[in-house]
Amino acid sequence: MKFFKLILVTYLLCWAGPGLPEQVYHTKDSFLAMAFPGGQPNTGVVWLTSQRKLDAEELLGHSPSELRIRYWSLNGRSAWILDKIGKEQPITIGVIVEDAKVEGVEILVYRESRGGEVRHDFFKKQFEGAQLIDNIDLDRNIDGISGATLSVNAVTNVTKWALYLHKQILE
Amino acid sequence: MELNRTAIAAAVAATVLANVANATQDEIQALKQQLEQQQAQLDALTDALESNRNSGSDGWWADTSFGGYAELHYNNINSQQSSKDTVELDLHRFVLFFGHRFNDKVSFFSELEVEHTVAGEGKNGEVEVEQAFIKYQYADNHSAKAGVFLVPVGILNEVHEPDTFYGVERNNVEKNIIPTTWWEGGVMASGEMFTGVSYDASVSSGLYLDAADGDFKVRDGRQKASEANATDMAYTARIVWNGMPGVQVGFTGQYNTDLLQGDVVGSVKDVDALLLETHVDLRKGPIGLRALYATWDIDSALDDIAAGASEQTGWYVEPSYKFSEKVGVFARYSQWDNQAADDDVDSNYEQMDVGINYWLVDTVALKADVQKTNEPGNTKEGFNLGIGWSF
């Protein structure tokens, strides 16, 4: 009987079909097509000055190692593709900003072992329309997901950082 | 004659101006080209610099992760029976995580823990490998694990970094009934069936009670994957609903085929056991609520080892409120009983905790709480202070 249980479980483990490579939910191109349905965006960079790196520590939780951040923009709308580690591995997150408000947040690639629920619409919708207050906080509370706190924090921090960077390109 | 002079002067001036204008245009063009060249050089330099800065991340270590957590506790508990007083300071847990990602599908994760600082013969502490498994991502949102893993049950068993929960000490229901921290060796499949609905199913080593020595509490049965008796396995299934922000509802069932792992103690043998657990974990804005119920339905033969031990049950409810990102308060009422099948046995515990967490940063928490515990034949009161962190 125990042997049959083992066989059954082994079968269930193998049953789910052929493997797919990784948790890629959007490519860069598909995200940008979603962000700019009306045309081809321009590209630009924001140089990370020492002040901006200091601000990143508050907003993002760490100072980025890059010298500059690339972005895409068209008609006052900007799009950002940024990596942030939740617990172990970087999550690639896309943020679309217009009029200093979040137009949308997307998970492009998820690599963490737990917390993938952040990719679901019920979570991402909380960010729509969010603004940065005093260059530090979102204007709203983001309800978390139990057991996925670090991924939730990563998405929240990246969203704040993208709102801040959007302000930098307007100045 | 005068007119001719003026015309000549105007012509000369126009020629000079035209030459100047041409020269300015040429200069602007040259400057523009120079600027473009310099921009290209700057871009190339920045690319090279960024590439050099990242070149150290090309090795195997780029896919290797490291983390950990720790918690220091001060307990000051007075007891009606003064022999049970506790006044102590303890680095309760010091934990290191190591993980490695072999490729997009295969990864390794581990948790190595030192409890109570010093381990060894006659020492208080223990060195424990609580997790060490290979995870295989065999399809989008579905994976399998093989190795030593945390049993998928309750709120704290899998997520127990001290900055993620209220109270200096972990709650006693999950400690004495579930029993957290609980890990087993075996295989487990996990994944997401529908949006927000995830599952886990495992076949693993089971609990082993040394009944000949009088063990009957499920916590005493943890084998910790240390030369674990695997005569009789355990089968676990969990469903979790995370379908809206801030709300989690979980159900776990585990069937142990024999808590005695084939031992026969007097007439006691073949002691199968079923654990059922359910919980909710809510956090909407500043308001939080955790509630959990867990019960073991064990073969009545175990009552011959300890009266009433065939049912071991507990529950708690823990409302909380966060005044800000930094400060939160909580209250928790808990009740548990490891001999619940016999009302004549005085074996029920109840505990009230009230306390505060102050987060220095997201993952560093200072904690303080007061507690009162009514246990069989005794009452304990006191306070606890602690600091816990993870990274």
The pLDDT profile of chain B, 391 residues, written as one tens digit per residue, is 555 676 777 777 777 777 767 778 888 999 998 998 888 888 888 877 877 766 555 566 778 888 999 999 999 999 988 777 999 999 999 999 999 989 888 999 999 999 999 988 888 899 999 999 999 999 888 999 999 999 999 999 999 999 999 999 999 999 999 999 999 999 999 999 988 899 999 999 999 999 999 999 999 999 999 999 999 999 999 999 998 899 999 999 999 999 999 999 999 999 999 999 999 999 998 999 999 999 999 999 999 999 999 999 999 999 999 999 899 999 999 999 999 999 999 999 999 999 999 999 889 999 999 999 999 999 999 999 999 999 8
Assigned domain for A94 exists? yes
Give chain A positions within 8 Å (CB) of B139.
16-20
pLDDT score recorded for residue A7: 45
What span, in angstroms and rounded, lies between the C-alpha atoms of B313 and B284? 29
Q: Given the structure tokens 């960010």, which residue do they identify? A: A127
Domain limits, chain B = 1-56, 64-390
* Residue A9 pLDDT > 50: no
B383-386 contacts at long range (C-beta below 8 A, 24 or more positions apart): B383/B76, B383/B77, B384/B73, B384/B74, B384/B75, B384/B76, B384/B77, B384/B167, B384/B168, B384/B169, B384/B355, B385/B73, B385/B74, B385/B168, B386/B71, B386/B72, B386/B73, B386/B74, B386/B162, B386/B168, B386/B169
The answer, yes or no, to whether residue A14 has pLDDT greater than 50, is no
Nearest in space to B224 (alpha carbons), one of B245, B207, B199: B207
Specify whether the CB–CB gap between B282 and B292 falls below 8 A.
no
Quote the pLDDT of residue B46: 81
Q: By the CB < 8 Å criterion, does A130 face chain B?
A: no
Q: Find out whether B185 and B204 touch, Cβ atoms under 8 Å.
A: yes
Q: Measured between CB atoms, does B105 come within 8 Å of chain A?
A: yes
DSSP string, B268-283: B----EEEEEEEEEEE
Q: How far apart are CA B391 and CA A76, in angstroms?
A: 38
Neighbours of B237 (CB within 10 A): 15
For chain B, the first-to-last Cα distance in angstroms comes to 94
Domain count, chain A: 1
C-alpha distances in Å from residue B3, one per residue of B6, B7, B8, B9, B29? 5, 6, 9, 10, 38
Residue B73 near residue B90, CB atoms below 8 Å: yes
Cis amide leading into B179 (omega within 30): yes
Query: What would the pLDDT profile of A117-151 be if each residue is shown by its tens digit?
Result: 899 999 999 999 999 998 888 999 999 888 888 89
CB distance A81 to A58 below 8 Å:
no
The residue in chain A having the minimum alpha-carbon distance to the alpha carbon of residue B97 is A88
**What is the C-alpha separation between B357 and B171, in angstroms, rounded?**
15
Sign of the dihedral through C-alpha A68, A72, A76, A80: negative
**Is there a domain that residue A92 lies in?**
yes
**What pLDDT digit, counting tens, does each position of B259-296 carry?**
999 999 999 999 999 999 999 999 998 999 999 999 99
Joined together, the tokens standing for residue B193 give 């069936």
pLDDT score for B59: 65
Kindly list the distances between the CA atom of residue A99 and the CA atoms of A96, A104, B330, in Å, as whole numbers in the listed order: 10, 13, 39
Above 70 in pLDDT, residue A3?
Answer: no
Residue A12 has pLDDT above 50, yes or no: no
HSE-CB for B185 with a 13 A CA cutoff: 12
Q: How far apart are CA B54 and CA A131, in angstroms?
A: 32
ipTM of the complex, rounded to two decimals = 0.74
Q: What is the spatial distance between Cα B359 and Cα A148, in angstroms, rounded to a whole number?
A: 18
C-alpha radius of gyration, chain B, whole number: 33
Instruction: Give the strands of the sheet with A23-24, arranged side by side.
Output: A23-24, A101-110, A90-98, A77-85, A68-74, A42-47
B164 contacts in chain A (CB < 8 Å)? 149
Q: What pLDDT is stored for residue A21 in this prediction?
A: 33
* DSSP H helix total and E strand total for chain B: 2, 16
Query: Domain B64-390's class?
Result: mainly beta
CB spacing of B139 vs A116 below 8 angstroms: no
Q: Supply the pLDDT for residue B293.
A: 98
**Nearest CB partner across the interface for B141, out of A116, A144, A147:** A116
Residue A144 to residue B242, Cβ atoms within 8 A: no
Q: Is B57 on the interface with A (CB under 8 A)?
A: no
pLDDT digits (tens, 9 = 90+) for A27-41: 999 999 999 998 899
Give the helix ranges, DSSP H, for chain B: 2-55, 172-176
Per the prediction, chain A carries an average pLDDT of 86
pLDDT in the model for residue B41: 84
Task: Please list the helix, strand and coil fractions of chain B in percent, rounded to the nearest 5, in that order.
Answer: 20, 50, 30
Give pLDDT, residue B271: 96
B300 φ, ψ (degrees, to nearest 5) = -65, -15
Q: What is the DSSP string of A92-142?
A: EEEEEEETTEEEEEEEEEE--SS-GGGGSHHHHGGGTT--EETTTEESS--
* Residue A18 predicted with pLDDT over 80: no
Is B53 an interface residue toward A (CB < 8 Å)? yes
Chain B residues near residue A157 by CB distance under 8 angstroms: none
> What's the pLDDT score for residue A62?
86
Domain encompassing residue A45: 20-170
Residue A14 lies in a domain: no
Q: Which of residues 26-55 of A touch B (CB under 8 A)?
A: none
CB B354 within 8 A of CB B330: yes
- Helix-helix angle A50-59:A149-170, to 10 degrees: 150
pLDDT at residue A11, rounded to an integer: 42
Q: Does B261 touch chain A (CB under 8 A)?
A: no
Sorted by sequence, the CB contacts under 8 Å of residue B24 that are 6+ apart come out as none
What phi and psi values does residue A126 have, to the nearest 5 degrees? -60, -25
CB contact under 8 A, B142 and A12: no
- What H or E segment, with its residue span, contains residue B203? strand B197-205
Minimal CA separation from A35 to chain B, in Å: 24
**Which of B46, B195, B246 comes nearest A68 by C-beta?**
B46
**How does pLDDT run across B150-202, given as a tens digit for each residue?**
999 999 999 999 999 999 999 999 999 999 999 999 999 999 998 889 999 99
